[in-house]
Structure 1
Amino acid sequence: MAEPEWESLEQCLEKHLPPADLREVKRLLYGKETRKLDLPSRALESAAEGDFELQGYAFEAAEEQLRGPRTVRVGLVQNRIPLPAEAPVAKQVSALHRRIEAIVEVAAMCGVNIICFQEAWTMPFAFCTREKLPWTEFAESAEDGPTTRFCQKLAKKHNMVVVSPILERDGEHGDVLWNTAVVISNSGAILGKTRKNHIPRVGDFNESTYYMEGNLGHPVFQTQFGRIAVNICYGRHHPLNWFMYSVNGADIIFNPSATIGALSESMWPIEARNAAIANHCFTCAINRVGKEYFPHEFTSGDGKK
């Protein structure tokens, strides 16, 4: 999100604050301290070889006298595109599949039960370009497209629920496009899909160039590891959106996003935490990382940069 020379808020605080002050600042920023997990050495080595960062944290719960703990391990993937945005569509998708496969292998080493990728993970986030081609060519069937079949294999291989947000091509209704998340059981079966039900129309940035608000309501999916829902990207700005997923029974609500640092870095983590507090559930905010350069320079509706 930020420039490379400024790694993160946490590293800045750790560099400049004494330990006692750091603990108090983190308590005020984040609430109860999480426990950092000791991850398997082979997972850390594989992550280093694959050039991605791996971290793990535990949210502690009070012990009960009569029931044993129910531990659910959730994996959140914030990936970057491995090829330039102007590379051929098929090559971009294939390269992203390979990278995600390596990341999921590491998640499996860590015992992850449910994994979620970022919004439209199989493509550059090109909806800001207002161009039809080649970006709409990344759309595929949610039921039997190559990405869904790929994720089904991963889910079955690793006994892992997979949440795969893609650009969906709805062939049954005249090739309508949707911003969709496909939910796949740890058995490899498709549990269903959910669609982004709030989309941005801010100035001349209008995602309805590509797709409209979803028409599937606020579905919750029963998995072996708990009831999950997916509140895609812009839906995070709407408190009642989170509320409806919670009312429908979600234990965990994922928020896969793609948004830029200058615009949203101060908002999206806080919005998810507020939703968790308000709705008595766990929320998982996910973005994407890296910089994406597109063949044509962006302009506003008035022709200015």
Structure 2
Amino acid sequence: MAEQLVSVEHVLEKYIPAEELQEVWSVLYGRKLRCLELPGCAVDSASQHGFELKGYMFDAASEQLRKPRAIRIGLIQNKIQLPTTSPVAEQVNAIHRRIAEIVEVAAMCDVNIVCFQEAWTMPFAFCTRERLPWTEFAESAENGVTTKFCQELAKKYNIVIVSPILERDESHGETLWNTAVIISNTGAVLGKSRKNHIPRIGDFNESTYYMEGNTGHKVFQTAYGKIAVNICYGRHHPLNWLMYSMNGAEIIFNPSATVGELSESLWPIEARNAAIANHCFTCAINRVGTVSIKHVLVLLSLSFHSIM
């Protein structure tokens, strides 16, 4: 059996000499990012709890008349904690406990905003065509157990949280939506943004569960900047990114779930292209492997002099 492909970067590092590799990085990614110096307590805690911790910095030229506005972003990928045959409430509670451990480490690293992966509280089952038990993971965006859990975390650590969930809209005839809930650093619910493009490709026909969202291209003013959420399939549509940017977004998150055969050639570059085209920061988060591989917390330090 051939060796499993870890990443394109891993292959390049393995076969290209170091001096030439620097030129390759420059062509592919532009200026090389600096690694963040992470607190020892955070590194130790991540190791103790068994998840990967990485941090990178986007530098910007200093200005003479304005102080820098530096923001730290945490992008979190998690795996399910219990077998999918376990009671739904127990599965959700187990993931909550795991995320609490990861967010605590993010707080040690002075993160300002964290974003979780698409439908983070459940197995990603939207390609199965089976409604039960998966639709039982749906909950209220305003009053559900996950939103209340995130409110407590946000207030405890002074962090803005982007929480993508399967939403049950009880005010709209029990309609389900693929929704990101935005929670301020004070614990208040700022609002929600619904997935506005969905795939209908073979088994990936997500209209079995929910339809395109009706919230438009919302932008949320937070204590750390104006943010928007372009959920998953919306990344394929350049005008989608444009509208969030036109509405004032400084950072656009793209929590998603995609697999190699469908999107490996697209997913790594779409958000980067959107950032270049729309003069904003973009943060793309894919789910990990087959849902149950590992946990990852990636930190990004942004300076807004380059876009303001």
User: Fold-level match, TM-score > 0.5?
Assistant: yes
Q: Using the alignment, how far apart are the partners of 1:9 and 1:52 within structure 2? A: 22
Q: How does 1:196-235 map to 2 (within 5 A)?
A: 196-235=195-234
Q: Using the alignment, how far apart are the partners of 1:160 and 1:285 within structure 2? A: 19
Other-structure match for 2:123: 124
Other-structure match for 2:247: 248
Q: CA deviation at 1:259?
A: 1.1
Q: How does 1:130-149 map to 2 (within 5 A)?
A: 130-149=129-148
RMSD (Å) for aligned C-alpha atoms: 1.4
Q: Deviations over 1:249-272 (max 9, x none)?
A: 000000000111222122112000
Q: CA deviation at 1:4?
A: 8.4
Q: CA deviation at 1:38?
A: 1.1
In structure 1, runs of 5+ residues without a counterpart are: 294-305
Other-structure match for 2:27: 28
Structure 2 residue matching 1:123: 3-state secondary structure: coil
2:82 counterpart of 1:83? yes
Q: Deviations over 1:233-258 (max 9, x none)?
A: 00000000000000000000000001
TM normalised by structure 2 equals 0.92
Q: CA deviation at 1:10?
A: 2.5
2:281 counterpart of 1:282? yes
Instruction: Please state which structure has a larger fraction of its residues in strand.
Output: 2
TM normalised by structure 1 equals 0.93
Letter in 2 for 1:144: N
Mean CA deviation greater in 53-62 or 12-21: 12-21
In 2, are the aligned partners of 1:229 and 1:254 still within 8 Å (CA)? yes
Q: Using the alignment, how far apart are the partners of 2:3 and 2:159 within structure 1? A: 33
Q: Deviations over 1:202-253 (max 9, x none)?
A: 1343100000000010000000100000000000000000000000000000
Other-structure match for 1:236: 235
In 1, are the aligned partners of 2:127 and 2:203 still within 8 Å (CA)? no
Q: Deviations over 1:23-52 (max 9, x none)?
A: 111111111111111111111111111111
In 2, are the aligned partners of 1:256 and 1:286 still within 8 Å (CA)? yes
Q: Using the alignment, how far apart are the partners of 1:159 and 1:21 within structure 2? A: 43
Question: How many residues are treated as equivalent by the alignment?
Answer: 291
Q: Using the alignment, how far apart are the partners of 1:286 and 1:19 within structure 2? A: 29
Q: CA deviation at 1:292?
A: 4.3
Where relative contact order (Cα < 8 A, 6+ residues apart) is larger, the structure is 2
Mean CA deviation greater in 89-98 or 136-145: 89-98
Q: 1:292 to 1:282 in 2, by over 3 A?
A: closer
Other-structure match for 2:49: 50
Structure 2 residue matching 1:208: 3-state secondary structure: helix
Q: Using the alignment, how far apart are the partners of 2:40 and 2:277 within structure 1? A: 37
Letter in 1 for 2:279: H
Other-structure match for 1:158: 157
Structure 2 residue matching 1:54: 3-state secondary structure: strand
Q: Using the alignment, how far apart are the partners of 1:205 and 1:113 within structure 2? A: 34
Q: Using the alignment, how far apart are the partners of 2:224 and 2:250 within structure 1? A: 10
In structure 2, runs of 5+ residues without a counterpart are: 293-308
Q: Using the alignment, how far apart are the partners of 1:152 and 1:282 within structure 2? A: 25
Other-structure match for 1:303: none
Other-structure match for 1:18: 17
Q: 1:38 to 1:263 in 2, by over 3 A?
A: same
Q: CA deviation at 1:8?
A: 2.6
Other-structure match for 1:178: 177
Q: Using the alignment, how far apart are the partners of 2:14 and 2:54 within structure 1? A: 19
In 2, are the aligned partners of 1:84 and 1:292 still within 8 Å (CA)? no
